[in-house]
């Protein structure tokens, strides 16, 4: 008669998934993700503002400053928002994503009202998505489950 092999203590902990990446990978992602997303966002904003014209020094400066600000705010939201209750955590992502989308749209020459409206729509969508995720992955006291 066959029996199941005993599980090791690290794999039998209920509610916890194993961490398959080491600390160096987590550090690389913590530094690299804001950097890569910031450079992508800065390039995108500079390309929209340039509007198929020539690449100038001011356009490059605008792209790099935009990338720096985006990366800094993204890193701050990633570091500070998880320490907040789920409602404020979701609100941080609402504000960040709405401002980022509205700013990009405003670079195309759109009006302030349409940029703000698009920012609100994108932010509300992100708010609904992340609040649902945090609500379904935390207990009543706000502790993460699994």
pLDDT tens readout for residues 69-126: 999 999 999 999 888 888 898 999 999 999 999 999 999 989 999 999 999 999 999 9
Report the alpha-carbon angle 125-127-130, nearest 5: 105
pTM of the model: 0.79
Indicate whether 64 pLDDT > 80: yes
pLDDT tens readout for residues 10-59: 555 566 677 778 888 888 888 999 999 999 999 999 999 988 888 889 99
Please state, in angstroms and rounded to a whole number, the distance separating the CA atoms of residues 46 and 65: 10
């Amino acid at each position: 008669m066959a029996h199941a092999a005993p599980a090791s203590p690290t794999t039998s902990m209920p509610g916890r998934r194993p961490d398959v990446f080491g600390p160096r990978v987590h550090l690389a992602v913590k530094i690299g993700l804001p950097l890569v997303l910031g450079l992508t966002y800065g390039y995108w904003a500079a390309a929209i503002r340039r509007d198929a014209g020539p690449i100038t020094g001011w356009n490059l400066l605008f792209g790099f400053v935009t990338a720096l600000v985006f990366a800094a705010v993204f890193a701050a939201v990633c570091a500070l928002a998880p320490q907040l209750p789920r409602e404020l955590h979701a609100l941080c992502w609402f504000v960040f994503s709405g401002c980022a989308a509205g700013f990009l749209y405003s670079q195309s020459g759109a009006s302030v009202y349409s940029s703000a409206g698009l920012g609100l729509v994108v932010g509300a969508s992100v708010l609904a998505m992340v609040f649902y995720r945090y609500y379904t992955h935390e207990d009543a006291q706000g502790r993460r489950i699994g």
